[in-house]
Amino acid sequence: MSHWDRDLNMVDRGAGEYDVDVSGGWNAGSRPNGGYLMALGVRAVTRVAARPDPLTVTCHFLRPAEVGPARLRVEPVRFGRTVATLQAALTQGGRERYRLIATVGDLTTSTGHTRSLRTAPDLPPPHRCAPAPATLAAGVRLPITDRVELRLVPPSVRPGQPVEAAGWFRMRDGREPDPSMLYLVVDAFTPVVFALGVGEWSPTLELTVHLRARPAPGWLRVVRRTGALTNGWFEEDAEVWDSADVLVAQARQFARLGAGAATR
Amino acid sequence: MSHWDRDLNMVDRGAGEYDVDVSGGWNAGSRPNGGYLMALGVRAVTRVAARPDPLTVTCHFLRPAEVGPARLRVEPVRFGRTVATLQAALTQGGRERYRLIATVGDLTTSTGHTRSLRTAPDLPPPHRCAPAPATLAAGVRLPITDRVELRLVPPSVRPGQPVEAAGWFRMRDGREPDPSMLYLVVDAFTPVVFALGVGEWSPTLELTVHLRARPAPGWLRVVRRTGALTNGWFEEDAEVWDSADVLVAQARQFARLGAGAATR
């Protein structure tokens, strides 16, 4: 069993409640990766909904989560014919760490128009890109880099232009991508805004991920972009493309730039 | 009192519950505009939170809402030092029509880095842009155009490129923009994907809006873009700029393309 599948394991307590053990394997410093945490909630939601595809999920991060036991509570909001909406909360020690709301469905039964409005990003091959460092500039260790192979295309920083960076993502143990992994993918790279030299850490307040297609096996490409940094608030957009040149996810987070000692 | 303020009026029933009367003045066909509906919930949330600025709000639309009485229920999720997270539901006839989750704060007390990473869109002046038609191609009346002056820059449709359109927005009765209005602004134009000639209506499943700054008085500019239409699912991004060339909101919705008879 892959690290990812083992660390998404959960025990069904009935009535939409699940016990999970938050792994330290996807940490940045002492803090679990937000995308990994979100994947846990999405897993619980898709189980309760009995529908496979998280079409759009928004997570509001309330307090930092910790490695160790946690409880997930799923509340159905509406079950429709084609989609269902549910919310979920992750709690540790009686304190809610995040709340998410999700609309789920089944992409394989969707029919409708398709138009190719974009071309996949043209990146140098992974072996010609630099591996992600295992520590941040501030000295914070990134255990996630033991599990995930990240290959970086250097950020583009031009005055008056969005700051943008791209990269490659795959699991070191060969676990192929699926929708559950895309939350980790969009949150695994250090924020592109750091390339401006104005901060060292940044708590995410909210992260929304749209699933556009189930990813094909192989490397994933991620393009990230920040277009506005205003009084410390910024957005980061991420697009994920699979090895078949299909756009598989679009994400946007709202975050706050921090400076000084990193805690995550 | 402006139409907008009158139609956001609500009666406090205590315990986070509010009675509202959904106006028919912002309709597309027989259906209230989703951004107007969302603004009602955001108004209730900021009242309960006693914080003025909805930093990031995500609304999942569960069923079409109707013109007439509705109940809003706000549930606080977490009150922190700088931000608060709350959720709200709008119910009519005992059936929940949407659920939203919001993180709110106060932009005037935010300090931190600012970097101008974008330039405001350079549009032809409003008087040189076409007014929005008062009916859709399918014959659906748009009462909202009696209240709102929309001026359109023709969509750009090029093979293999995102479909994009821009426009101007202001209230006909002179009501100046504020954060509450931005939900209406990002949802007031017909979806840009219609420019591809592949659909006539499109229910929004989810809409997320980030408030980046409080808008200055005057016309607002809106740039909208769709980059992926896959089996009928598409995203629409919207950016709103104020008369002082400041980016005031970023929005993204996840929607489903419909064809044939429009119901909204």
A91 in B contact zone (CB under 8 Å) = no
Contact A18, A12 (CB under 8 A): yes
Nearest C-alpha of chain A: how many angstroms from B16? 19
Residue B138: predicted pLDDT: 73
Q: Is residue B174 within 8 Å of B156, Cβ to Cβ?
A: no
- Beta strands, E only, B67-203: 68-79, 84-92, 95-105, 130-131, 148-156, 163-171
CB interface of B with A, residues 150-189, below 8 Å: 160-163
Model confidence over A97-111: pLDDT tens digits? 999 999 999 999 988
What residues of B are in contact with residue A205 (Cβ under 8 Å)? 55-56, 83, 103
Determine the 3-state secondary structure of A103 from DSSP: strand
- At B204, which amino acid appears? T
Confidence at residue A234, expressed as pLDDT on a 0 to 100 scale = 97
B82, B86, B115: best to mutate for the A interface, most A CBs within 10 A: B115
Min distance A152 CA to chain B CA atoms (Å): 22
Rounded CA-CA distance B264/B258 in Å is: 11
Chain B residues in contact with A55 (beta carbon < 8 A):
205, 233, 254
Token pair recorded at residue A239: 């697009």
| Residues B151-169: b if buried by 16+ CB within 10 A, e if exposed | bbbebeeeeeebbbbbbbb
Segments in chain A below pLDDT 50? 260-264
Distant-in-sequence, close-in-space partners of A178: CB < 8 Å, separation ≥ 6: A214, A215
pLDDT given for residue A137 in this prediction: 72
- The pTM of the full predicted model, rounded to 2 decimals, is 0.96
Name chain A contacts of B213, Cβ cutoff 8 Å: 230
pLDDT at A264: 34
Query: Cβ contacts (< 8 Å) between B205 and chain A: which residues?
Result: 55-56, 83, 103
Instruction: Note whether B224 and B236 are within 8 A (CB).
Output: yes
Residues 227-246 of B with CB under 8 A from A: 227-233, 235
User: What pLDDT is recorded for position B261?
Assistant: 43
- What integer pLDDT is reported at residue A259 of this predicted model? 56
User: Would you tell me how many other CB atoms lie within 10 Å of the CB of residue B209?
Assistant: 29
State how far Cα B260 lies from the chain centre.
25
Say whether A86 sits in a helix, a strand or coil: strand
Report whether pLDDT(B263) > 50: no
